[in-house]
């Protein structure tokens, strides 16, 4: 057994040797871009390649992008008898004095509402000002970076004053029952208590989700109603479907009934999460441990992914597969966050932290020990770990995860008061509610 583990760990480690391009910079400034059409006309093949690379990013997955060669002359010719899209990107090697009259010609065919980004070759502030004066939305100088381009587009279509766009954190377990939901709920609660920021937990484990139980709530409606008719979901309906657990935390609870069939489409998930993210700065998505087109979609579209694993071989293999998939599909995103949970169980043979991290080439952001007494009592009380015992080790770990997840250097140290609930009283109350 020990040698089987060792061999597998080494093998997985080799697969992860080549990781160079995975870490990205300035990933947070470019936000997902709404359903707009973008047409680009390039002079330079390299600019076209960067545009193509950006077009494949998750942030542009809802947009419709077409890229043509021929620069501004091709754009002018094209729009003589075609309507203009939401955004035109023109890449031009022309100098300012030659570029401006061409842009004026293009402007003659532009429909109201069409925005234009110009990519030029000259870092010239006078030209930049002149372009803005003529209504160009942004001027970028080649060579351009795909993230900078996405950031510019995102700034045009996500107005920070009117469209708050929340961060989405997807939590997934490398295996079933590894504590992914417990971590999702505790981290969300910590964020809401410590940062005093609004947080919504979306429980997508429709048949078996534990969000209601963990927060001692028994909502009648929740996320299933939104997923069944996502086009009807607006701010008012969302307000009715959410259950408020505390001043800053609400849950979008799972129905947890087995009579219903749950047919969820990736598009419905997208629409529902989009409405939620317009309303709160932090959305934590509690994904069930099953693999479907919609769960994959949420994972690939999230701003950050938190993978929870326990230190055994199956968890290592599955975590590696999830990492591989994310690495392939999210080239401009940082690596997912790894939490090793239920570690250090006496007498259990475990893969060590070092081996686990080496095999994945990923450092765990937190290691949480197996603590049967604390976790079972907190769960039975419908309390978070910090409410149950603010002094236990896991409390600090949840703060660490919340801090790293939101890229904060420091979390304020005041601790919410522990609630007096204990024993099985609240659990029994909960079942009374169900009767």
Ligand X SMILES: Nc1ncnc2c1ncn2[C@@H]1O[C@H](COP(=O)(O)OP(=O)(O)OP(=O)(O)O)[C@@H](O)[C@H]1O
Question: Which positions from 152 through 181 interact with Mg ion, judged by CB under 5 A?
Answer: 181
Give the residue with the Cβ less far from ligand X, 60 or 287. Answer: 287
State in angstroms the smallest separation of the CB of 176 from Mg ion.
8
Interface mask toward Mg ion for 180-199; x: CB under 5 A: -x------------------
Give the residue with the Cβ less far from ligand X, 55 or 405. Answer: 405
Q: Which does 179 bind (CB under 5 to 8 A by kind): ligand X, Mg ion, none?
A: ligand X
Interface mask toward ligand X for 193-222; x: CB under 6 A: ------------x----x------------
**Binds ligand X (CB under 6 A): choice among 368, 384, 401, 403:** 368
**Binds ligand X (CB under 6 A): choice among 173, 212, 230, 336:** 173
- Residue range at the interface with ligand X (CB under 6 A); choices 36-44, 87-95, 365-373, 412-420: 365-373
**Binds ligand X (CB under 6 A): choice among 2, 20, 125, 372:** 372
Give the residue with the Cβ less far from ligand X, 219 or 288. Answer: 288
Query: Rg of the chain over CA atoms, in angstroms?
Result: 25
State in angstroms the smallest separation of the CB of 201 from Mg ion.
11
Q: Which does 285 bind (CB under 5 to 8 A by kind): ligand X, Mg ion, none?
A: none
**Binds ligand X (CB under 6 A): choice among 182, 217, 284, 301:** 182
CA 251, 255, 261, 265: dihedral to nearest 10 degrees? -10
> Does 86 participate in binding ligand X (rule CB under 6 A)?
no
> Does 262 participate in binding ligand X (rule CB under 6 A)?
no
Q: Which does 182 bind (CB under 5 to 8 A by kind): ligand X, Mg ion, none?
A: ligand X
State in angstroms the smallest separation of the CB of 286 from Mg ion.
6
State in angstroms the smallest separation of the CB of 300 from ligand X.
19
Residue 258: half-sphere exposure toward Cβ, Cα within 13 Å? 1
φ, ψ at 34 (rounded to 5°): -65, 180
Question: Per residue, what are the HEC states of the chain?
Answer: CHHHHHHHHHHHHHHCCCCCCCCCCCCCCCCCCCCCEEEEEECCHHHHHHHHHHHCCHHHCCCEEEEEECHHHHHHHHHCCCCCCCEEEEECCCCHHHHHHHHHHHHHHCCCCCEEEEEECCCCHHHHHHHHHCCCCEEEECCCCHHHHHHHHHHHHCCCCCCCCCEEEEEEECCCCCCHHHHHHHHHHHHHHHCCCCEEEEECCCCCCCHHHHCCCCCCCCHHHHHHCHHHCCHHHHHHHCEECCCCEEEECCCCCCCCCCCCCHHHHHHHHHHHHCCCCEEEEECCCCCCHHHHHHHHHCCEEEEEECCCHHHHHHHHHHHHHHHHHCCCCCCCEEEEEEECCCCCCCCCHHHHHHHHCCCEEEEEECCHHHHHHHHHHCCCHHHHCCCCHHHHHHHHHHHHHCCCCCCCCCCCCCCCCCCCHHHHHHHHHHC
Give the residue with the Cβ less far from ligand X, 44 or 205. Answer: 205
State in angstroms the smallest separation of the CB of 381 from ligand X.
11
**Binds ligand X (CB under 6 A): choice among 32, 71, 85, 179:** 179
**Binds ligand X (CB under 6 A): choice among 63, 180, 186, 315:** 180
Give the residue with the Cβ less far from ligand X, 246 or 376. Answer: 376
> Does 379 participate in binding ligand X (rule CB under 6 A)?
yes
Residues lying near ligand X in the complex (CB under 6 A) are found at 173, 176-182, 205, 210, 288-289, 341-342, 368, 370-372, 375-376, 379
Residues lying near Mg ion in the complex (CB under 5 A) are found at 181
């Amino acid at each position: 057994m020990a040698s089987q583990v060792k061999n597998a760990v080494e093998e997985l480690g080799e697969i992860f040797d080549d990781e160079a391009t995975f870490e990205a910079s300035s990933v947070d400034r470019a936000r997902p871009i709404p359903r707009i059409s973008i047409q680009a006309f390039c002079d330079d093949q390299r600019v076209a390649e960067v545009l193509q690379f950006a077009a494949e990013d998750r942030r542009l997955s809802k947009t419709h992008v077409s890229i043509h060669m021929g620069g501004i002359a091709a754009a002018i010719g094209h729009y003589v008898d075609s309507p203009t899209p939401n955004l035109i990107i023109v890449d031009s090697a022309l100098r300012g004095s030659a570029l401006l009259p061409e842009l004026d010609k293009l402007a003659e065919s532009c429909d109201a509402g069409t925005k234009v980004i110009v990519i030029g070759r000259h870092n010239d502030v006078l030209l930049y000002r002149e372009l803005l004066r003529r209504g160009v939305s942004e001027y970028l100088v080649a060579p351009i970076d795909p993230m900078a381009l996405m950031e510019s587009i995102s700034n045009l279509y996500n107005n920070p004053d009117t469209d708050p766009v929340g961060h989405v954190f997807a939590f997934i377990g490398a295996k079933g029952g590894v504590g992914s939901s417990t971590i999702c709920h505790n981290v969300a609660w910590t964020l809401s208590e410590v940062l005093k920021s609004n947080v919504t937990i979306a429980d997508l484990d429709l048949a078996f989700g534990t969000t209601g139980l963990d927060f001692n709530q028994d909502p009648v409606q929740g996320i299933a109603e939104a997923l069944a008719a996502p086009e009807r979901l607006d701010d008012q309906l969302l307000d009715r479907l959410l259950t408020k657990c505390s001043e800053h935390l609400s849950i979008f609870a799972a129905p947890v009934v087995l009579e219903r069939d749950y047919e969820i489409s990736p598009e419905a998930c997208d629409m529902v999460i989009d409405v939620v993210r317009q309303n709160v700065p932090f959305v934590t998505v509690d994904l069930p441990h099953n693999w479907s087109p919609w769960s994959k979609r949420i994972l690939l579209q999230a701003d950050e992914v938190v993978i929870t694993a326990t230190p055994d071989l199956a968890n290592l293999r599955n975590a590696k597969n999830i990492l591989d998939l994310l690495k392939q599909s999210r080239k401009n995103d940082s690596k997912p966050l790894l939490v090793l949970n239920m570690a250090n169980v006496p007498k259990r043979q475990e893969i060590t932290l070092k081996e686990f991290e080496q095999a994945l080439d990923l450092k765990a952001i937190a290691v949480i020990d197996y603590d049967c007494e604390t976790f079972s009592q907190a769960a039975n009380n419908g309390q978070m770990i910090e409410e149950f015992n603010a002094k236990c080790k896991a409390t600090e770990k949840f703060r660490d995860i919340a801090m790293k997840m939101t890229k904060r250097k420091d979390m304020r140290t005041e601790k919410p008061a522990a609630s007096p609930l204990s024993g099985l009283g609240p659990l029994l109350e909960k079942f009374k509610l169900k009767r």
